[in-house]
Amino acid sequence: MAKQEFDVLIIGSGHSGGMAANVLTQKGISCLMLDAGPEVNLATNRATRNPWELPYRGMNKPGRLPHVVQANEFNANQWVDEKEVPYTHHPATPYNWVRVRLLGGRSLFWGRQSFRMSDWEFKAGEKEGVGDNWPISHADLDPFYSRVEAIFRVSGRKEGKPHFPDGNFLDADYGPDSATVQKVTQIAQSRGYLVSKIRASNGRNGQASSVNLLLPDALATGKLQIVPNAIVRELTVDKNTGLVNGANFLDRHSKQELHVKARVVILAAGSLESTRLLLNSGLANSSGMLGHYVIDQLYGVQVVASVPEARGGTPPEGLMGGTALLPRFRNLQKGEKNNFSKGYGMMIASGGAAQPGFFQDYGESLQKKLDLHAGACMTASIYGERLPRYENHVRINKDVKDAWGIPVLHADVKDSANEHNMAKDAADTAEDILKTAGWDILSKTDKFHPPGYSIHEVGGARMGDDPKKSVLNKWNQSHDVKNLFQVDGGCFVTCGWQNTTLTMLALAMRASEYLAEQMKTKAI
């Protein structure tokens, strides 16, 4: 006997899928959520260990997660096993795809930095004269951002600057800045740069995940069923209408294949997994744009300076500590002369340590230097924006299948001169600020991680008004298949320098409300 048909099938339980379920069920719409991963209880699944109690002394099982730089032996089990679900890239152009397959996805572990994007990102083409615009502006997303900020309990300092839009923030007391942060602020401001503070989701009880902030309310409506360990292989299509009517999935343990029926399908498996699913299903790609314009942010670039008065282990009270955040300050004016477009944010943290590699030394003499600079360092790092480029794409590699027999992705994503020039400018700018403050530069690099490392991979199914140039419309709805939505980062047209999740959440909320409206009027 055929099982019930759901109103909406949501694939993926992370931030974006959680938001879709939260919105739709509270509007009375019945939802089934499938997630490839098992359920996990963070309270009981973790325990404190010394590094030497682990099999490899905390230094990682060699070769286990070659693409996850963030992995260590403590957290190795939280990431997708690269042998179970491989992906490929040319050896010369690495791509670091950092994935989680657990109920709640990456929302269980994210760093919670939460910035809005501005019209310098949404309307990049207009503002800067380079690249494409999104079909929406900050004003369209503003009310949704505000509601997401309330749910995630975002704190931040208001600045009143359109390129760094303020939000619906909790009151937060940042306390007085340390003298070194004041000095950085003064120098940066004298160069015309805004200086602010990190904005972050506080969540509840130390967690800001879909599991604790989004799914409980959805479940409470009685309108949501969640099935973990369900790996969706492909979407199924009604041959008469061309609309999607459900999905085939595999049981994670037994590999048994099952089918579910739904009137609408929402993809929320993460930008690239959703793209993989669409490519494997042969759907939503009349534009030929599916898988293209894959972007993420440029991380790396580090300049470290030592503050002379802070050396020796016990800096004077009030000198060190805290951070200064410099939101993007390059190319905010049209026609600004730089050898790159877009920009980067910069974080300057006070009170860090020097690393052994900063000195050509070893043994006791090295240790003396490390002790001298301990806690006396200022560390500048960046959040760079990469350019969206058609050539940067993912495609299916038919020769390689995952442990469930599903063809994997091949990532073909490279950096251009724009990224290298931006990184160089960032390193020079950081050096200039720290030197101007009178501090000694210990180390400077303009090197950066390969694409994907930032864990802010977006694009692949970008949104737009023109069905020939985009996969989704401005409501995250497929141009080709009207009852198919993708609410994760796949829709991004530009990636901005800002951590992407707050924008994903606002977009997922907006798209889900639109869908609910369409279902009410029977337009879908």
Partner 1 sequence: MQAIAAAPAVPAIVTPALLTPQSVQAQSPPPRPPGPLATGKRDAVADPVSHFFTAPRFAALHKLCHLLMPPMNGNPGALEAAVPQFLDFLVGQSPTDRQQLYKSGLDLLNSRSATQFGKPFASLDATQADTIIRPLFVLVPWQFDLPKEPGARFMAAAHDDIRVATRNSREWTQAAIAAGRRPVGAQLYFFPVDPVYPPAPPAPVYKG
Ligand X SMILES: Cc1cc2nc3c(=O)[nH]c(=O)nc-3n(C[C@H](O)[C@H](O)[C@H](O)COP(=O)(O)OP(=O)(O)OC[C@H]3O[C@@H](n4cnc5c(N)ncnc54)[C@H](O)[C@@H]3O)c2cc1C
53 makes contact with partner 1 (CB under 8 A):
yes
Whole-number minimum distance, CB 173 to ligand X, in Å?
21
81 makes contact with partner 1 (CB under 8 A):
yes
Q: Is the dihedral of CA 481, 484, 485, 486 positive or negative?
A: negative
Answer whether 294's CB lies under 8 Å from 272's CB.
Answer: yes
| Among the listed residues 2, 52, 206, 239, the single contact to partner 1 using CB under 8 A | 52
Q: What's phi and psi for 505, nearest 5 deg?
A: -65, -45
**Which of partner 1, ligand X, none lies near 449, with the C-beta cut-off 5 to 8 A by kind?**
partner 1
**Which of ligand X, partner 1, none lies near 70, with the C-beta cut-off 5 to 8 A by kind?**
ligand X
d(CA 18, CA 512): 11
Cβ closer to ligand X: 19 or 376? 19
User: Measuring CA to CA, which residue among 300, 316, 471, 493 is closest to residue 389?
Assistant: 493
Region of 75-83, 157-165, 180-188, 385-393 interacting with partner 1 (CB under 8 A): 75-83
227 makes contact with partner 1 (CB under 8 A):
no
| Among the listed residues 261, 424, 435, 444, the single contact to partner 1 using CB under 8 A | 444
CA Rg value for the chain: 24
Cβ closer to partner 1: 128 or 425? 425
d(CA 302, CA 381): 5
Determine which helix (DSSP H) or strand (DSSP E) holds 145, and give its type and residue range: helix 138-152
**Which of partner 1, ligand X, none lies near 235, with the C-beta cut-off 5 to 8 A by kind?**
none
DSSP state of 77: G
Cβ closer to ligand X: 250 or 376? 250
- Summarize as ranges the residues that interact with ligand X (CB under 6 A): 11-17, 34-37, 70, 98, 100-101, 105-107, 109-113, 230-232, 268-270, 273, 277, 455-456, 488-489, 499-502, 504
Please give the structure tokens belonging to residue 268. 């929320």
Torsion of CA 495, 497, 498, 499, to 10 degrees: 70
**Which of ligand X, partner 1, none lies near 495, with the C-beta cut-off 5 to 8 A by kind?**
none
Answer whether 249's CB lies under 8 Å from 257's CB.
Answer: yes
Cβ closer to ligand X: 72 or 421? 72
Amino acid at 101: R
d(CA 134, CA 399): 35
Sheet with 407-412: list strands edge to edge. 88-89, 407-412, 393-401
70 makes contact with partner 1 (CB under 8 A):
no
Answer whether 269's CB lies under 8 Å from 101's CB.
Answer: no
> Which string of x and - marks every residue 463-502 that binds partner 1 (by CB under 8 A)?
----------------------------------------
Cβ closer to ligand X: 492 or 514? 492
Whole-number minimum distance, CB 357 to partner 1, in Å?
3
**Which of ligand X, partner 1, none lies near 13, with the C-beta cut-off 5 to 8 A by kind?**
ligand X
- From first CA to last CA, the distance across the chain in angstroms is 26
Answer whether 448's CB lies under 8 Å from 299's CB.
Answer: yes
Helix (H/G/I), strand (E/B), else coil: 189: helix
Positions in the binding site for partner 1 (CB under 8 A): 37-38, 40, 45-54, 56-59, 61-63, 69, 74-78, 81-84, 86, 88-91, 102, 229, 252-253, 300, 302, 355-364, 367, 371, 397, 399-401, 403, 410, 443-445, 447, 449
